[in-house]
Amino acid sequence: MSEPDWYEDATIYSFDVKTFDDSDGDGWGDFQGAIDRLGYLDEFGVDAVWIRPFYPSPLRDNGYDVADYYGVDERLGTLADFREFAERAHDRGIRVLTDLVFNHTSVDHEWFRRAREDPESKYHDYYLWTSHLEDAHHRGNIFPEYEDGVWSYDEVAEKHYFHQFYSHQPDLNVANPAVREELYDVLRFWLDQGADGFRIDAAHPMLMPKGHNATTLEDTELEEPIDLFTRMREVVESEQSDAVLLAEADDEPENLDYYFGDGEAFHLQFNFVMNAHLTYAVGVRDAWPLYRAHEILPDIGGVGTWVNFLRNHDEWNLLKLPEEAFEHAREYFGDDAGDSWIFERGHRLRLADLYDGDPDRIALAHALLFSLPGSVALQSGDEIGMGADLSLPEREAVRTPMQWDDSANGGFSTADPDDCYNPVVDEGEYAYDRVNVADQRENPDSLLSRIRDLSRVRDRCPEIARGDFRIVDAEPKGVWAHRFDRDGEVLLCAHNFAAESREAVFGFDVDSDAAERVVGGGDYRVADGGVTLDLGAHEYVWLRGEKQ
């Protein structure tokens, strides 16, 4: 599968093994169940899967509290099952990206157990401690609703340890070269098991000041902090030439290009700026946030690739919006009881919840997503319009099992519902008997079919990743358009955000006889170097033609 630039326009499908498909009826999804669903992913046309943490864990934070980097949680399968999953995925041309949590471990990890028990152990310096809390570095915790700060007392060590996330997730001391070597070994191990790359969780916090003295990687033998990730790239590429690193780096816009390390660190980076603005724009039926997103994003041409997305398995983070829009989004998209707002930064709602279950707006958002330069990440269940369960704690609201059909537990598991890792959504407009794959799979007008068509069409549009992109100003402003020029061809992508029909006119310097519809509805007329579009409410169309 060697193709070094495969990631530049990939469609990546994200799922949690625990909630995707249960093959043995114990209520927990597993790798054998994921193997059984590879046909669905192949049919969807995905290039890679990103599977969320599946390692042994006490699951106080959905598996992001890792207790062993070298294993598979026995409830999800075995190492052999993972290897089989990777091999079967590769047979279908699907790459496998795993989630690696290197900023912190669980308090149950052997490293931390040995660190707290023996201050003379090498593992003690794998973490960060203080015996003088009043003199130590302090700042806000990433989960301010649940943690008072970044220090917690350990009764065994009789010291405080540093944690940017939950108190059961002590930060690793990445300034310690021995820790960094441990992380490099983990990368090598999973590549050897069949992985093709890694999402590196919390890349931004890994570079933040840590510990008593606010130590950073600038205080180490590394020439600069980004060399932590540069070395990771060297490790993975030496093992597998087309393996990739994907950054979760929710930093300020002006700092985001740093994580690419001038083309020597991360290959890919989640585009949190575009996520906040695009999802908000479709929600409020106004294109202005897209203009702003393009204005504040750094130019990353030649050094890396954005991974654009609409929703993920966390809260919808609004911090990249301007203040007025942030406050508006907090009220506009929130549930009536105010239960969706979390961490003072976002809503624990799925895409369908944000758009009132409107399949046309969900499809429009995906059409925009697939038409942007870079790669695409899809959250499992969004392609059929699954909704959140706000009765579940914190982010678990958006982590319910995949709804495959209208049988018990939505076809996810044959277990008693009480035995499932998370309950399936079984009430309301998003219940599994109303929203599921089976009902939509063969219906050409369903949300699933429309998004599947967009995924397939994108594969036939290499200009999206490799053409020259520019925004096409439009009147009325409720219509957003952009174009790509490549090898004498033009691809024009137009999207109507409005709840009413709109007529829009654009320059379109193509041969009128050769212009063709790529995907989408609406009428169009090409003449005299321009095109007139008649787009219905929340309608989109992509047109292609040879340049005159």
From CA 532, how far away is CA 541, in angstroms rounded? Answer: 12
Dihedral, CA of residue 396, residue 398, residue 400 and residue 403, to nearest 10: 180
Cis peptide, bond prior to residue 322, ω within 30 of zero: no
The β-bridge partners of 520 are 541
The DSSP code sequence of 444-468 is: TTSHHHHHHHHHHHHHT-THHHHSE
Structure tokens at 487: 């090898």
Angle at 264 between CA 261 and CA 268, to 5 degrees: 75
* DSSP H/E element including 177: helix 177-193
From CA 185, how far away is CA 232, in angstroms rounded? Answer: 10
Q: Return the exposure string of 26-61: e unless at least 16 CB atoms fall within 10 Å of the residue's CB, then b.
A: ebbbbbbbbbebbebbeebbbbbbbbbbbbbbebeb
DSSP state of 67: S
Catalytic pick from 30, 65, 196, 201? 201
Report yes or no: 13 and 46 within 8 Å, Cβ to Cβ: yes
Place of tokens 């991360």: 266
Residue 295, classed as helix, strand or coil, is helix
Is residue 248 part of the annotated active site? The answer reads: yes
Rounded alpha-carbon distances, angstroms, from residue 296 to 287, 291, 375, 497: 15, 9, 19, 22
Structure tokens at 272: 């949190």
Q: Residue 138, Cβ neighbours under 10 Å: how many?
A: 12
DSSP state of 424: P
Catalytic pick from 248, 382, 389, 453? 248
Kindly list the catalytic residues. 201, 248
